[in-house]
Each structure stands twice: as C-alpha cells, then as structure tokens.
Amino acid sequence: MRSPLVIGNWKLNGSKQLVAALLGELQRSLVPYHHQCDVAVAPPCLYLDQAAALLGQEGLIALAAQNVDNHAQGAFTGEISASMLQEFQVTYVIIGHSERRAYHQESNALIAEKFACVKRAGLTPVLCIGETAAQRTEGATQAVCTAQLDAILQQSGISAFQGCVIAYEPLWAIGSGQSATPEQAQAVHQFIRESIAQQDANIAASVRLLYGGSVTAHNAQALYAMPDIDGLLVGGAALQADTFSSIVKQTVS
C-alpha cells in the first residue's frame, strides 16, 4: 500500500518571516491528517535550518530540498551536497525539476548523478519528469519520460527506484493554471509504473508517483482519485497555508 505524499515546492519564494508564519499555520492545520498522509515542504535551502528548528522532531511535516549537487564535496563553489542536506533533517530531495533542466541546463545524465548522490546519502529522491507542450502535441510524451527514466536506470539500475518518488510534471501545466486532467495524468502515471514493472514488479508497485502542475484545492481530489496518482507536488498553491492544508486533506478523505 502506497501512503499518500504531498510536497510543497516553494521554489524561489520565502523569507524568515514567511517560513515562521507558514510552518506555524501548517503545523496547526495538519494535525488531524498526521499518520494519514506524508507531507513535506521544500523551502529555499537557506531556510532549511530555520524550518528544521521550527518543525522539531514531531514528524508532522518533513523537509525536502529543491536541488543538490552531483558531487559529495570539493571545489564546487556555490553548491550543496546531499550529506549537508542530511545534516539539516532533510528527507526528500527534488531533482530534475523542469525549471532546473531549462534554466540551468541540467541534462538527464547530470540528474542521474544527482539521483545517485541522494541515494548514497540515504535520502529520498523526488525525480521530476515530463514533456513540453510541443512534445505532447508530437505524441512524444512517453518517449520523453522513458529517456528521463532510462538515464537513472543506466546509472544506478532498477534497484535505485526502491523507495524513491517520481513526480510527473508536464511543463505546460506548471504555473500555467492549466492542470493536466486526471485522465491525462493517470495515463502517463500508468505508463511510468508499467515501464518500471517491466524490470521489477515489486518496485513498480511500491514507488510513489506524484502529479505536479497547477494543482489547486479545486482539482486535488479528482487528481488523487486516480489509481496511479499517489500524491501531489504543489508549487504556487503551497505558499498559502489554508490552500495547502486543503490539498492535503483531499488526499485523505
């Protein structure tokens, strides 16, 4: 049985004040859903320490990082390693987000190296994959997702997917207000699970597949109702406590 997982990706948003206010409100509003849904927030990494101190050891809300370097240590100015994230109570690490692929030229091969680093540090990768609008129009959605998954398989093998999280985030749905329909998302999620099942049915059955892209309090329930959607990766709607709480609530009711 795959337990639901909702992650709020704050992207390049936040301040000390927002971290304190948002986490304070979420800690209050999410209490009823504790043990029913895994919840994580991904603030900019500079705020992870503050967030970890606020969240304490209660385990109500886990921490996710938005990125990690593909090296363990060394002369890589400006970077942050997986073992550093681990020191700050981080559980999940988002890698391969389309904004990093687009604005930081991250390739499938680089993301595969990051995936391996995250696993080595004992953290859980949240691998983002998905197609552009043009690729969807060309009918290339499956080919794009396959290439993005294959890079990980080649680097780390199928066993690396054990316990990991994959987020399907079609680029045309991110920040556009135009979410994939539940049926569109389900079709790709089913394809992803079946692709993994071809190599290992047990891992395919256990891997959690999140949908991301214009998730709101209005569409979360219908998306989560799909059999292969195990949770949601939320962007803009994660910045408001009541909206994010409402999204979490919809994965447990």
Instruction: Quote the CA–CA distance of 248 and 253 in Å, as a whole number.
Output: 9
Contacts of 77 (CB under 8 A, 6+ apart): none
How far, in Å, CA of 71 to CA of 146, rounded?
25
The active-site residue, picked from 87, 97, 104, 138, is 97
Q: Give yes or no for a contact between 189 and 228, defined as CB atoms under 8 angstroms apart.
A: yes
Point out the residue whose Cβ comes nearest to ligand 13P.
Answer: 235
User: How many residues bind ligand 13P, per CB under 6 A?
Assistant: 14
- Of 99, 106, 113, 169, which residue is the catalytic one? 169
**194 noted as active-site residue:** no
Q: How far is the CB of 208 from ligand 13P (least distance, A)?
A: 15
Q: Which stretch binds ligand 13P (CB under 6 A): 31-39, 145-153, 208-216, 243-251?
A: 208-216
Question: Toward ligand 13P, which CB reaches closer, 14 or 236?
Answer: 236
Residue from 70, 135, 214, 251 in contact with ligand 13P (CB under 6 A)? 214
196 or 234, CB closer to ligand 13P? 234
97 is catalytic: yes
Stretch touching ligand 13P by CB under 6 A, among 25-33, 156-164, 186-194, 213-221: 213-221
Shortest reach from residue 177's CB to ligand 13P, in Å: 8
Beta carbon of residue 237, minimum distance to ligand 13P (angstroms, whole number): 6
- 43 near ligand 13P, rule: CB under 6 A: no
Binding letters toward ligand 13P, positions 157-186, x by CB under 6 A: ------------x----xx-----------
Query: What are φ and ψ of residue 170, in 5° steps?
Result: -65, 130
Interacting residues with ligand 13P (CB under 6 A): 9, 97, 169, 174-175, 212-215, 233-237
